Amino acid sequence: KSLANDIEFYGLVRAQKSIRRADVVMMFFDATKTISKVDKQLMEEIKDQHKPCIFVVNKWDLGLDEKMTSEKWGEYLIKTFASMRHAPIAFITARDGKNVAKLIHLAQSIFKQARERVSTGVLNRIVEQAVDRNPPPMRRNKRPKIYYATQVATQPPTIVIKCNQPILFDPSWKRYLLGYLREELPFQEVPIKLYFRPRHDEDGPDSPVE
């Protein structure tokens, strides 16, 4: 048992190192098995590293049972990894190569998304639309105010919102804005780092919106 635990531990460490080096992570799941503890640990690493990820369900021709459709497997993944619901899902049969070419194409698409850069003008128009549709509520008897937004990095796309006071923006509204940006910008299937920072603060907090 100790040897098995050691093998699992070192396998996990190696996988985590690979995740940190990767441009796109393909997270494989065996369709004949349930999601494991190690799978969950690896997904935490992928999330923490803000890596583009594809959920790959292998051995799809075998499956857990006849009732486990691709839609239900998708629901199973989203329920288990709710914070990664943006990640696309691919179903393959590696043994006969079914859908493998599509998977490679998808990985290339994800890589391209992570490298996209949006102009400040376009970004600010979209932020303005989001605010018009759903203004941030007042907090502490003060009105949250956004001055401007800018994309400061790629891989992952990183957006900074300059505002009066970040603490005035309700966490649920921050998540709303993150979702709106994901829908409107070319980053639908990759992680986005979104920071709210005071107007004259160049560094700000290190924790992006979750």
DSSP strand pairing (146-153 vs 158-163): antiparallel
Residues 6+ apart with CB under 8 A from 175: 209, 210
Query: Omega into 205 within 30° of 0, i.e. cis?
Result: no
Domain contains 10: yes
- Do 106 and 134 fall into the same domain? no
When divided into structural domains, the chain yields a total of 2
Residues 6+ apart with CB under 8 A from 91: 31, 57, 60, 70, 73, 99
Q: What is the pLDDT of residue 64?
A: 58
CATH number at residue 79: 3.40.50.300
- Do 163 and 59 fall into the same domain? no
Which structural domain, as residue segments, surrounds residue 172? 120-198
Domain contains 57: yes
Give the pTM: 0.86
119 backbone dihedrals φ, ψ, rounded to 5°: -65, 155
Q: What is the pLDDT of residue 88?
A: 97
Last residue of a domain, one of 114, 148, 176: 114
Last residue of a domain, one of 93, 114, 135: 114
DSSP letters for 140-192: TTB---EEEEEEEETTTTEEEEEES-GGGS-HHHHHHHHHHHHHHSS-TTS--
- Do 96 and 157 fall into the same domain? no
Q: What is the pLDDT of residue 31?
A: 87
- Do 109 and 124 fall into the same domain? no
- Tens place of pLDDT per residue across the chain (210 aa): 454 566 677 778 888 899 999 999 999 999 888 999 999 999 999 999 999 999 999 987 776 566 678 888 999 999 999 999 999 999 998 788 888 999 999 999 999 999 999 999 999 999 999 999 999 999 888 999 999 999 999 999 999 999 999 999 999 999 999 999 999 999 999 999 999 999 877 665 557 887
- Do 172 and 154 fall into the same domain? yes
Domain contains 204: no
- Do 105 and 140 fall into the same domain? no
DSSP strand pairing (53-58 vs 25-30): parallel
- Do 100 and 17 fall into the same domain? yes
C-beta of residue 22 within 8 angstroms of C-beta of residue 107 = no
- Do 63 and 98 fall into the same domain? yes
- Do 108 and 128 fall into the same domain? no
Domain contains 150: yes
Domain contains 124: yes
C-beta of residue 69 within 8 angstroms of C-beta of residue 76 = no
- Do 40 and 129 fall into the same domain? no
Q: Residue 138 in 3-state DSSP?
A: coil
Last residue of a domain, one of 82, 114, 146: 114
SS3 per-residue string spanning 37-78:
HHHHHHHHHHHHCCCCEEEEEECCCCCCCCCCCHHHHHHHHH
